[in-house]
Amino acid sequence: MHLNQTKIRPLFPVFVAGSCLVPKLHLGMADFPVGSSGGTLAAGRGRSLATPLLALLLFFALLAPAGAQVELGIDVLKQHQFSILQGKRVGLVTNHTGIDSNGVKTRKILAAAKGVRLVALFAPEHGLDGVVGAGKYVASRKDKLTGLPVYSLYGPTRKPTAAMLKGLDVLVYDMQDIGSRSYTYISTMAKCMEAAGEVGIPFVVLDRPNPLGGLRVEGPPMEPQWISFVGQLPVPYVHGMTSGELAQMANSKGWVQPKCNLTVVKMHNWQRGMTWNQTGLHWIATSPNIPHATSPFYYVATGLAGEVEGIETGCGGPEPFQIAASKWTDAEKFTAYMRSLNLRGISFKEYSRNGFQGARIRIDPDAQADLCALGVYILAAAQKAAPRSLFTGSASKYDIFYKCYGSDSIRRDIERGVSPSKIVSGWSAYNVRFVSERKPFLLYP
């Protein structure tokens, strides 16, 4: 049995190299002494009480991870003195979400780590501080915290150039993803893996939880012709994998070329059934419109529909992605239709503001409903009420929508009145196959 399959936290971190799923670092029990070397815990009568007590305490300690706070990849790396980075010149792909479980920035930790030389930073969409708007240019600059250069990966280039990587011994990735294919942080990861492979330096992923959990797999597949930076990997729209797991699958499947020398630093205490509110970790807004730990659920549900002109989802306001409305829908009828779908764990309330009518959405993180399906139902209802096609104009006008969805078939289906349930059922076989195909790359039970 692989160590990543056990439910008891191992006494050592597991560094997963490539796709072999084997521990890279082995530490024995001697590395974790309970007391002083060769000493006894008690003597005489006291020993008969202390020994059973110690055994009882150790027993409960082994059971503790079930409710313990998740320890992130950076936590595990730090606990073991940054062993895989010792003596190396390090480049770090990160932003404001790259923090340890105590909220300390990863770049600050690595800059102060003994034996590690952090020399360059790389920032994704939204910038190093996460405040730049979606799709907006991110400039390279100097980091005030560390004094290091910050190379933009959302400016003239999406992939580190050979010049940016010159002099580095290893490239490390530490950012919080939200579990959706179209969120560009995993696209940045894939591009950085390619760049590392091209110049022949190792790539290390410090793993983090998928806030949607590891069980939810849903949404449309990605057709090859629509692969882009808002859909870099051919996985379902909701893949149910951590960044480290995705990196392993992408590397093994050849989705990044050339392959890189990949190491994933696993988390401790995370399990697939956990959504963010069960991790014990503090949520950091990953971007301006993902302010809450529950925001990824709403992003999945309405994000695609929001790419269509005239559909209001609340972005830019206090409830991003929590609204579904338009100027041609009737709030009462639209809300009644949504409620009639009986989507388990999702509720609707009439919404009317600034000429837009529709529904305010509430999603339970444990909702059993298909969240991607909700987006299709929203589009179908909006089209039925609209005076003309939702997709009026040239195909290029909706290029970003098709790239996020992974196909332009959705336009044809919606315009022809194909039932939403039929559209959604068309994903099922692919998603079932994907669940099977991803198994060799899963690191957590």
Kindly report, residue by residue over 244-272, the tens digit of the pLDDT: 999 999 999 999 999 999 999 999 999 99
Region 2-30 average pLDDT: 37
SS (H, E, C) the chain: CCHHHCCCCCCCCCEEECCCCCECCCCCHHHCCCCCCCCCCCCHHHHHHHHHHHHHHHHHHHHHHHHCCCECHHHHHHHCCCHHHCCCEEEEEECCCCECCCCCEHHHHHHHCCCCEEEEEEECCCCCCCCCCCCCCCCCEECCCCCCEEEECCCCCCCCCHHHHCCCCEEEEECCCCCECCCCHHHHHHHHHHHHHHHCCCEEEECCCCCCCCCCCECCCCCHHHCECCECCCCCCECCCCHHHHHHHHHHHCCCCCCCCEEEECCECCCCCCCHHHCCCCCCCCCCCCCCCCHHHHHHHHCCHHHCCCCECCCCCCCCCCEEEECCCCHHHHHHHHHHCCCCCEEEEEEEECCEEEEEEEECCCCCCCHHHHHHHHHHHHHHHCCCCCCCCCHHHHHHHHHHHCCCHHHHHHHCCCCHHHHHHCCHHHHHHHHHHCHHHCCCC
The pTM for the full model equals: 0.86
Question: How high is the pLDDT of residue 397?
Answer: 81
> To which residue do tokens 């990735």 refer?
173
> For residue 2, is pLDDT > 50?
no
Region 153-164 average pLDDT: 98
Indicate the pLDDT class of residue 242, thresholds 50, 70 and 90.
Answer: very high
Question: How high is the pLDDT of residue 226?
Answer: 97
Region 395-413 average pLDDT: 93
Question: How high is the pLDDT of residue 128?
Answer: 98
Over pLDDT 90: what percentage of the chain? Answer: 83
Question: How high is the pLDDT of residue 68?
Answer: 77
**Cα separations in angstroms, 235 against 145, 181, 232, 407, 419:** 36, 7, 9, 13, 24
- In whole angstroms, give the CA distance from residue 73 to residue 76: 5
The strand pair at 356-363 and 323-326 is best described as antiparallel
> 300: which 2 tokens?
């999945």
Contact yes or no for 131/288 (Cβ under 8 A) = yes
Q: In what order do the strands lie in the sheet with 89-94?
A: 15-17, 262-265, 203-206, 170-174, 89-94, 117-123, 149-152, 141-142
Helices 371-385, 295-302: axis angle to 10 degrees equals 40
Question: How high is the pLDDT of residue 247?
Answer: 98
What residue type is assigned to position 365 of the chain?
Answer: P
Q: What contacts 411, CB < 8 A, 6 or more positions away? A: 391, 398, 402
Contact yes or no for 441/248 (Cβ under 8 A) = yes
- In whole angstroms, give the CA distance from residue 390 to residue 397: 12
Query: Which phi and psi (to 5°) does residue 269 adopt?
Result: 80, 0
Question: How high is the pLDDT of residue 392?
Answer: 87
> To which residue do tokens 């492979």 refer?
197
Region 301-319 average pLDDT: 96
Indicate the pLDDT class of residue 15, thresholds 50, 70 and 90.
Answer: low
> Is 197 or 12 the better-scoring residue by pLDDT?
197
* Residue ranges of domains in the chain, CATH in brackets: 73-285+435-441 (3.40.50.12170)
Indicate the pLDDT class of residue 67, thresholds 50, 70 and 90.
Answer: low
Question: How high is the pLDDT of residue 442?
Answer: 98
Question: How high is the pLDDT of residue 359?
Answer: 98
Question: How high is the pLDDT of residue 16?
Answer: 63
Average pLDDT, the chain: 88
> Which residues make beta-bridge pairs with 159?
none
Question: How high is the pLDDT of residue 17?
Answer: 59
> For residue 9, is pLDDT > 90?
no
> 194: which 2 tokens?
């390619």
Length reported for the chain: 445
Which range (3-12, 322-331, 359-368, 401-410) has the least confidence? 3-12
Q: What contacts 431, CB < 8 A, 6 or more positions away? A: 217, 218, 219, 221, 236
* pLDDT (tens digit per residue) in 138-153: 999 999 999 999 999 9
* pLDDT (tens digit per residue) in 198-239: 999 999 999 999 999 999 999 999 999 999 999 999 999 999
Question: How high is the pLDDT of residue 422?
Answer: 98
